[in-house]
Amino acid sequence: MSAAAPGFLSRLRSGGILPGDSPEERLNKSLLVLATGLVCVASMLWLAVYWSIGPQLSATLPFAYQLLLAGNLLLYIRSGNFKLFRTTQLGLFLFVPFVAQWAIGNFITASGILLWGLLAPVGAILCIGAREALAWFFAYAFLIVLTGVFDFYLADASTYRNATVSVETSVVFFALNFLAISTIVFMLLRFAIEQKQRTASQLAEAHALLECEQERSERLLLNILPGPVAERLKQNEKNIADGFADVSVMFADIVNFTQVAAGMTPAQVFSMLNRVFSRFDEQAGARGLEKIKTIGDAYMVAGGLNENTSDYTAALADLALEMRDWLRNQTTGTGVLLDLRIGIGTGPVVAGVVGKKKFIYDLWGDTVNLASRITTEGVPGMVQVDTTTYLRLRNRFDFHPPQTLYLKGKGDTVVYRLIGRKDQPSALAGGGVDILLDAR
């Protein structure tokens, strides 16, 4: 019993509002509880003013009205049945004012007390809905017409002459009744609008947070996939695969990485790779190229998959040279030298999204295999390209004489070693250069 009491008091303080209630349910409960409190206070003031002016009316009906309202409220707080509470409370709002008028006399002697019944249809609009409130309004209008018919046919002049309520008192209470009911309706409407505005503000804040999260999610998605592919994925396109007739693909592989990693802690290895690949990401993004993936200590990037740059093969060559030149100035502090092997191939590829979870955008085809193979068979510190790439770049870049490599599955293959742009002499033209990397 003692455990139930705090729960009851808590529900009483909150007006029966439950944590799982929707904003609309919270508002409806608050409005009806507020209306109940206002009507109870107003009925007490109504009786006190009546007595102070002169007419000694029986307090039985107002007192019973307050008991009914309060008892119904406590029953609702205990049971939690808001639908029953709403119907019975609106019923009391509607019928008791008419009973009070019939007990006092007529429209004039009761000073229009039946106007209080208007709270029923107004409360129904606020707490139930516009369509459902029509029935309550029709009931209110019917009782007014019925009371008027009774007064017209049953009352005579002697009834008004012998009334216990003076004309002055009737006038005062006409004004008070109109003022009181207008005040209560205004307060209920004001409270409803304030709560709806507060709810709208909370929804706007939630919407803004949702937009921020959506933008963050889209940025994360764009870090994984090219923009057009990400859009197709958001449209629930299941099989995303495209053929490209001409794409330049580059692989960059860190030489001696296993040796270096053996003398470093896991945190140092991660820091080194994260710093290097983040730098490569920035350089690739600045040229409008698409990073495809990292494979251990290898880095894969491609040009021609989007419309960010038309001269993507030259951009990829510039990226390879910049990556190589930047990496040679980094140190690890371990004394182990690092080089980059870089290979570029140009030709048709198939690109698409693989998997449903932790998906990845990847490339397939002979061009990809060729770029990977000439990287593996490359010379540390050099950029090797296939014949197609060479023919496209030879007028703007300098190359070493062609070399013939034997590639498994392809046989003898001619490759060209990139030196640099014709108008920019390269510091690495003479061959491979030892490169140090800082993993701090």
Strand partners, 361: 353
Q: Once rounded to an integer, what is the mean pLDDT over residues 305-331?
A: 85
**pLDDT tier at 315, thresholds 50, 70, 90:** very high
Residue 436 domain-assigned? no
pLDDT-derived band at 9 (thresholds 50, 70, 90) equals low
Residues 46 and 195 reside in one and the same domain? yes
Q: Determine, yes or no, domain membership for 315.
A: yes
Sign of CA dihedral 388, 389, 392, 398: negative
Query: What is the DSSP secondary-structure string of 249-270?
Result: EEEEEEETHHHHHHTS-HHHHH
Per the domain annotation, does 221 fall within a domain?
no
pLDDT over 90 at 345, yes or no: yes
Same domain as 334, residue 201 = no
Report pLDDT for 435.
34
- Residue, of 22 and 180, whose pLDDT is higher: 22
The residue among 189, 209, 229 that closes a domain is 209
- CA distance to 267, 291, 313, per residue, from 309 (Å): 37, 14, 9
Average pLDDT score over residue span 371-384: 89
What's the rounded mean pLDDT across residues 98-109? 76
pLDDT of residue 59: 62
371 has pLDDT over 50: yes
Domain stops at, among 192, 209, 226: 209
Q: Is 428 helix (H, G, I), strand (E, B) or coil?
A: coil
Instruction: Compute the C-alpha angle 272/286/212, nearest 5°.
Output: 85
Q: What is the pLDDT of residue 439?
A: 34
Percent of the chain with pLDDT over 70: 74
276 and 410 in a single domain? The answer is yes
The rounded distance, in Å, linking the Cα atoms of 423 and 261 is: 38
User: Are 42 and 157 in a shared domain?
Assistant: yes
Strands 290-295 and 241-255: unpaired
Residues 186, 259: one domain?
A: no
Same domain for 46 and 162, yes or no, is yes
Place of tokens 């008419």: 98
**CA separation for the pair 320, 117 (Å, rounded):** 85
Question: Is the pLDDT at 424 greater than 80, yes or no?
Answer: no
- One domain for residues 134 and 264: no
How big is the chain, counted in residues? 440
**Domain limits at 356?**
241-421
Is residue 298 domain-resident?
Answer: yes
Binning pLDDT at 50, 70 and 90, where does residue 383 land? very high
Residue 319: pLDDT band by 50, 70, 90 thresholds? very high
Q: Are residues 139 and 280 both part of a single domain?
A: no
> Is the pLDDT reported for residue 409 higher than 70?
yes
Is there a domain that residue 145 lies in? yes
CA proximity to 417, closest of 396, 386, 391: 386
The DSSP 8-state label assigned to residue 288 in this structure reads: T
Using DSSP's 3-state secondary structure scheme, residue 317 falls into helix
Residues 68 and 201 occupy one common structural domain: yes
CB 417: neighbour CB atoms within 10 A? 19
Give me the CATH number covering residue 360: 3.30.70.1230
Stronger pLDDT, 366 or 53, i.e. the higher one: 366
Beta bridge partners of residue 413, listed in sequence order: 405
Which of 159, 193, 209 represents a domain boundary (last residue)?
Answer: 209
The answer to whether position 323 is within a domain reads: yes
Domain count, the chain: 2
Q: What is the DSSP string of 124-175?
A: HHHHT-HHHHHHHHHHHHHHHHHHHHHHHHH--HHHHHT-SS-HHHHHHHHH
Query: According to the model, what pLDDT value does residue 429 have?
Result: 41
CA 74: distance to chain centroid?
A: 39
Q: What's the average model confidence in pLDDT over 55-63? A: 64
What average pLDDT does the segment 400-425 reach?
85
Question: Hey, how many other C-beta atoms are within 10 angstroms of the C-beta on 88?
Answer: 16
Mean pLDDT over 15-27 rounds to 80
Judged against a pLDDT cut of 70, whether residue 166 lies above it is answered with: no
d(CA 89, CA 221): 54
Residue type, 55: P
pLDDT in tens, 192-204: 777 777 877 888 8
pTM of structure: 0.53
Same domain, 294 and 398: yes
Q: 438 in a domain, yes or no?
A: no
Whole-number Å distance between alpha carbons of 324 and 437: 12
Same domain assignment for residues 172 and 286: no
User: Does 253 have pLDDT greater than 70?
Assistant: yes
Does residue 15 carry a pLDDT above 80? no
438 pLDDT more than 50: no
Domain assignment present for residue 429? The answer is no
pLDDT band for position 156 (cuts 50, 70, 90): low
Binning pLDDT at 50, 70 and 90, where does residue 301 land?
very high
The amino acid occupying position 369 is N
Instruction: Please say whether the beta carbons of 303 and 315 come within 8 A.
Output: yes
CA neighbor of 54 nearest in space, from 174, 167, 158: 167
| pLDDT at 142 (0 to 100) | 87
Q: How far is CA 121 from its chain centroid?
A: 38
Residue pair 345/370 in contact (Cβ under 8 Å)? The answer is: yes
Of residues 344 and 266, more confidence is placed in 344
Residues 250 and 387 in one domain: yes
For the chain, the average pLDDT equals 78
How many beta carbons lie within 10 A of that of residue 171, not counting itself? 12
Q: Where are the alpha helices (DSSP H) in 225-302?
A: 227-234, 257-262, 266-286
What is the model's pLDDT at position 182?
64
Enumerate residues 6+ apart whose C-beta is below 8 A from 57.
Answer: 47, 50, 51, 104
pLDDT, greater one: 109 or 335: 109
Chain segment 205-223, per-residue pLDDT in tens: 888 888 888 777 777 766 6
Rounded to an integer, what distance in angstroms lies between the CA atom of residue 91 and that of residue 73? 13
